[in-house]
Amino acid sequence: MMKIRKHLQLIHDMEFHNVSERRLNLEQVHDRIVRFMSLDPHANYNFMIGTDCQVHAGHTTMITGVVIQREGKGAWACYRQVVIPRELKSIKEKLSLETSYSEEVALFFGGERRAQMEDIVLPFVYKGASFEAYIDVDAGTDPAVSKTAAYVAEMVLRVEAMGMKARLKPEAIVASSYANRHSKKPYRFAANDVVEQ
């Protein structure tokens, strides 16, 4: 049996990256989102969280994307990578874990932090500003096309229980596009990453 060192452990590694910054913690991610929104408080914003996984030889890579989209005017995004040291085979397990990773990040952005984001646009709501929060579930509803269709209702209920809106394919762009792009890259284990238990 092998054990992955601390920086690859499940759940506890909450570092986010994007093309210009690395190793952001959740507070820093929140600060970047607030700063981005404050630049144009009159806009329509979509706050989206979504996770995608890819099974590679000997491991599964989970990528959780966090995106704040200013409709028609760009976005700020980052992602978190978790490497699970086994190949996930079950469709339900993969979808459930993807949803769990998204929910875990969404919990951080509840309460006061979400209120802070909403407060940026609140003075301009009557002039057309808006803020919506979504968890993108990497699943489709057509059983003829998607093996995940049987589990959609369960995942949607989980997301709605958190007070967020669930989006499914093809609207689930953070999970099926942004996170998917990063999850396709297999993790390259270094010699000191894997240790005997």
Q: What is the mean pLDDT of residues 94-118?
A: 95
Whether 196 is covered by a domain: the verdict is no
pLDDT surpasses 60 at 116 = yes
Q: Average pLDDT, stretch 18-33? A: 95
194 lies in some domain:
no
What pLDDT band is residue 181 in, cutting at 50, 70 and 90? confident
Q: Let me know if residue 142 belongs to a domain.
A: yes
Domains in the chain, number: 1
| Digit-coded pLDDT (tens) for 161-170 | 998 999 999 9
Tell me what pLDDT residue 11 has: 39
Identify whether 50 is part of a domain. Answer: yes
Query: What are 140's two structure tokens?
Result: 């489709």
Q: Quick check: is 151 in a domain?
A: yes
| 133 inside domain | yes
Residue 71 is part of which domain span? 2-185
Query: What pLDDT, on the 0 to 100 scale, is given for residue 146?
Result: 86
Give the burial class of 94: count Cβ atoms within 10 A of its Cβ; 0-12 exposed, 13-18 middle, 19 or more buried: buried
Give the per-residue pLDDT at 30: 97
Q: Does any domain span residue 75?
A: yes
Mean pLDDT, rounded, for 84-109: 95
pLDDT-based confidence at residue 52 (cuts at 50, 70, 90): very high
DSSP-derived 3-state class of residue 164: coil
The contacts of residue 117 (CB under 8 Å, 6+ apart) are 33, 34, 37, 45, 47, 109, 131
Residue 55: CA atoms inside 13 Å, Cβ hemisphere, count? Answer: 10
In a domain, 193, yes or no: no
Distance between CA atoms of residues 178 and 86, nearest Å: 23
Q: Whole-number mean pLDDT of the chain?
A: 87
Number of Cβ within a 10 Å radius of residue 190:
8
